[in-house]
Amino acid sequence: MIASLLYTSVAAEGLDSADVFKIVEDSSRRNPARDITGFLIFDRNRFLQYVEGPQAALDELLETLGKDKRHHSVRVLHRSQSEQRLFPRWAMRRAGANAEQELETIRAAGLPAAMMAELEGFGTRLRAA
């Protein structure tokens, strides 16, 4: 089984687009070794991230996220289990207004309804990370 979770957090004051690109870049390098895939959306000062992989790897990631000074108020919105990954090729993908193809892929992937509702309600104007 593949575990997944969707969480939100608040960006630290002063975090800019270059910082967010670095987060995505670093995650893309580290996640294959952890067997984690997913995407990150940045909207002004908030993050919404979906990750999937082994439960133990996601638990470890949450612990790491809780210590990361680049954001705070990490809140897990949903957890799920499935037989297969929804985003097997995305070590970590950014999505936003300038990444419409990624957003369409996410919408078509079959996220659980509660996760999809959170994604659609995240922001009226998503900005690319």
Q: Does any domain span residue 105?
A: yes
Site of tokens 């969480």? 7
Q: Does any domain span residue 99?
A: yes
pLDDT value at position 112?
86
Q: Does any domain span residue 127?
A: no
**Count of domains forming the chain:** 1
pLDDT band of residue 128 (cuts 50, 70, 90) is very low
pLDDT digits (tens, 9 = 90+) for 109-122: 888 888 888 887 77
pLDDT digits (tens, 9 = 90+) for 8-52: 999 999 998 888 888 889 898 999 999 999 999 888 788 999 999
Residue 70: CATH number of its domain: 3.30.70.100
Q: Does any domain span residue 80?
A: yes
Q: pTM for the full model? A: 0.87
Q: Does any domain span residue 129?
A: no
Q: Does any domain span residue 37?
A: yes
Q: Does any domain span residue 128?
A: no
Q: Does any domain span residue 19?
A: yes
Dist CA 6 CA 79 (whole Å): 7
- CA distances for 33 relative to 48, 64, 93, 105, angstroms: 22, 15, 16, 24
